[in-house]
């Protein structure tokens, strides 16, 4: 078998999606294909060919991801990774991933990120678990806030056009203080967040778009659906939250108070909430959220120097990191990170820490500490106190949060 790895254009999109449809047991949808074609971020499609047949794929979105301290880093958002069952265990995935790294580097994207269908697959290619998220399911009668004071706000339904005009500004204000959130183009907003397709309803009702104003200023928004049920003439509906964003603490408090107070609902459900979500402190009984955690964003450094220069640091210290990276050999070596100058440069100095690139990916957004990574054997401390110094450098006021799959 001879496998050829090459880029493909949108004209072969129908063939390109076949491996991922096969992997997840999905049917081809012309409507979805039409929407994918319109996403400006989806600019990289890598295919493995046997002859003229596509037997494996890896795509990437061109993204901008927020970093600690209000920065932003160009990111290759890996997606649509699949190999046909007939071609597994034959090196196809490895070849696709190597081309993915080369393309990200050529595009000037210092990091890559993904939501992993199976984490161990990507860890062996240098991706590190960088954040956790979770789903919640709470009875409406258990949603009392610890501070029962009224929440002054105005909530109003808006159409898609108005949401497209107002919601991005709220998102960007939230994104400025939370690492892991991506910049969204108008097409991303329109096609992935605000439109209301029949297949996206999954048995629930139409999408509701609600703007939350506090003191006359847009401070939050909610996207949700209602799944109505009745039992013995009593409503036991579920409110399914797609996204609830507050630009400020007051906005977050207001948007969730609005959602919890919707009549005829028995339960409120939401997914992809971070482990440090304000709801845990807002609610009088946070245990009732029934929070169930899972791995969320995985991060892979493509260009160590550029990635480390794309975030702020919590101390004006410097530290020498020795990076091991078998798949991106250009990253191998020692780097002196200067937190005050926000830069990293090659050095021959003795390392303070030695670690594989996946461990650095885990720590990059501030969600996983070097001390915890060392506890599980992922980081080697070469100089006394280096773990504490590294954690002081990489700390983030907010944990990383990526509110949506990509």
- Please identify every residue annotated as catalytic: 122, 406
The CB density around residue 276, as the number of other CB atoms within 10 Å, is 15
Q: In what order do the strands lie in the sheet with 71-83?
A: 4-7, 42-50, 53-67, 71-83, 111-115, 297-301, 128-129
Burial 195-230 (b: 16+ CB within 10 A, else e): eeeeeeeeebeebbbbbbbbeeebbbbbbbbebeee
Give the phi and the psi of residue 305 in degrees, each rounded to 5.
-60, -50
Give the phi and the psi of residue 113 in degrees, each rounded to 5.
-150, 155
Burial 119-154 (b: 16+ CB within 10 A, else e): eeebbebbbbbbbbbbebebebebbebeeeeebebe
Determine contact, residues 280/288, Cβ cutoff 8 Å.
Answer: no
Distance CA 45, CA 314 (A): 37
3-state secondary structure of 227: strand
DSSP 262: -
């Amino acid at each position: 078998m001879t496998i050829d790895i090459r880029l493909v254009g949108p004209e072969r999109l129908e063939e390109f999606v076949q491996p991922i449809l096969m992997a997840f047991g999905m049917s081809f949808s012309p409507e979805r294909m039409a929407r994918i074609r319109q996403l400006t971020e989806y600019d990289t499609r890598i295919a493995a060919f046997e002859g003229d047949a596509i037997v494996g794929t890896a795509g990437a979105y061109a993204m901008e991801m927020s970093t600690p301290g209000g920065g932003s880093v160009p990111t290759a958002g890996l997606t649509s990774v699949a190999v046909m069952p007939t071609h597994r265990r034959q090196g196809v995935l490895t070849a696709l991933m190597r081309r993915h790294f080369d393309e990200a580097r050529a595009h000037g994207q210092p990091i890559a990120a993904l939501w992993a269908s199976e984490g161990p697959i990507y860890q062996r290619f240098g991706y590190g678990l960088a954040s956790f998220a979770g789903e919640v399911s709470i009875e409406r009668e258990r949603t009392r806030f610890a501070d029962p004071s009224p929440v002054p706000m105005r909530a109003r339904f808006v159409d898609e056009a108005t949401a497209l005009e107002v919601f991005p500004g709220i998102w960007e204000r939230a994104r400025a203080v939370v690492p892991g959130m991506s910049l969204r183009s108008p097409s991303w907003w329109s096609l992935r967040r605000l439109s209301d397709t029949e297949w996206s309803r999954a048995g629930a009702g139409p999408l509701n778009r609600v703007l939350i104003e506090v003191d006359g200023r847009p401070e939050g928004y909610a996207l949700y659906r209602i799944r109505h049920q009745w039992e013995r003439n009593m409503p036991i509906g579920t409110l399914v939250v797609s996204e609830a964003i507050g630009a400020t603490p007051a906005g977050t408090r207001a948007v969730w108070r609005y959602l919890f107070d919707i009549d005829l609902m028995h339960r409120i459900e939401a997914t992809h909430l971070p482990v440090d979500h304000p709801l845990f402190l807002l609610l009088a009984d946070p245990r009732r959220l029934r929070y169930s955690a899972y791995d969320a964003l995985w991060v892979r450094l493509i260009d160590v120097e550029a990635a480390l220069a794309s975030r702020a640091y919590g101390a004006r210290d410097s530290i020498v990191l020795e990076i091991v990276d078998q798949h991106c050999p250009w990253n191998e070596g020692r780097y002196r990170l200067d937190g005050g100058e926000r830069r990293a440069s090659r050095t021959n100095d003795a390392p303070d820490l030695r670690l594989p690139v996946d461990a650095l990916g885990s720590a990059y957004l501030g969600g996983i500490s070097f001390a915890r990574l060392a506890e599980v054997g992922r980081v080697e401390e070469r100089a006394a106190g280096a773990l504490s110094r590294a954690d002081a450098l990489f700390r983030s006021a907010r944990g990383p949060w990526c509110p949506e799959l990509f």
